[in-house]
Structure 1
């Protein structure tokens, strides 16, 4: 059986173009909350927005859970689980998130940590952000300014590319 190679399409400057490259920056962020959370700049802008809405703890909790899932060492896992619990879930938490069943949570869950122990709570926070904060973020000044700045940069680089192509044509 022969392996098929993907067809490579080049843009006007001869650079490979792909559907993954088609959406960049704010366009990717607008496509889905998942895309936004995969982009460090997107996370930074979203945090900035959530801070103004007094709900930055939601994305911080989500990020902490993502990091926690990658933890392999049992001792480290226990320490991180306790840190997440004390920071976001305990009744005395400094950045408490609002999740269902929180009143039933107690420190006994920290005795046997496992990578998905916070998954249900993380999913609740993700859905809260997705159906509440995210749509407002896409209409916010923070997002719109970033988008406008990106578009201006793009237009500027397109003009430079056109000038380069023109100079190649006329300098031959």
Structure 2
């Protein structure tokens, strides 16, 4: 199964990051991430957690194939081996661009991309189509994502984790601990 279709890798949270004092800083990182996601689609797509949340949203909109195609093209551009490029190009074509594609994306000029071109792949062969999908996401799905429950709930969770505990609650907790230890 292609990595971009693998839901298991997207559903797992990343490692918990600890600062020098050993306390978890993942919530602060999350808050910074959501602020970055809101700044641009590019930032969102650079963050695995952001991609996971965006995919979750796009599934609900029945347009997850757009981000999957974009991710597949990004993976394709990193390939250097010609045989791997040929295989990946054919996979992208069959999955997203052919008339019989299982997750067909709606791009102009997809019919002009014939299977013949797949025999001589080059890293930027899908760039024009990838740019179309990026713009579709940027000017359509992304703005709705920023207003969605998926994004807003994630932002709220991060903000709640950032709030310092109430001093009185901390004192009560300390008192309970002290009383149970004596």
Same-fold call, TM cutoff 0.5: yes
1:125 aligns with 2:133: yes
Aligned residue among 41, 55, 65 for 1:47? 55
Aligned to 1:63: 71
Cα RMSD between the aligned structures?
1.8
Aligned to 1:111: 119
Aligned residue among 80, 99, 103 for 1:95? 103
- After TM superposition, which residue ranges in structure 1, 4 or more long, deviate above 4 angstroms? none
Partner-residue secondary structure (3-state), 2:163: helix
Deviation string 1:103-136 (CA, Å, 9 cap, x unpaired) is 2222011010000000000000000000000000
Unmatched runs of 5 consecutive residues or more in structure 2 = 1-20, 22-28, 171-182
Partner-residue secondary structure (3-state), 1:24: helix
Structure 2 distance, partners of 1:133, 1:156, is 34
When structure 1 is superposed on structure 2, of 47-56 and 97-106 the one drifting more is 97-106
Q: CA deviation at 1:156?
A: 3.5
Aligned to 1:7: none
Partner-residue secondary structure (3-state), 1:150: helix
Structure 2 distance, partners of 1:109, 1:36, is 31
Unmatched runs of 5 consecutive residues or more in structure 1 = 1-12, 14-20, 164-172
Deviation string 1:60-94 (CA, Å, 9 cap, x unpaired) is 00000000000011100100000000000000000
Equivalent runs, 1:134-149 vs 2, <5 Å: 134-149=142-157
TM-score, normalization by structure 2: 0.73
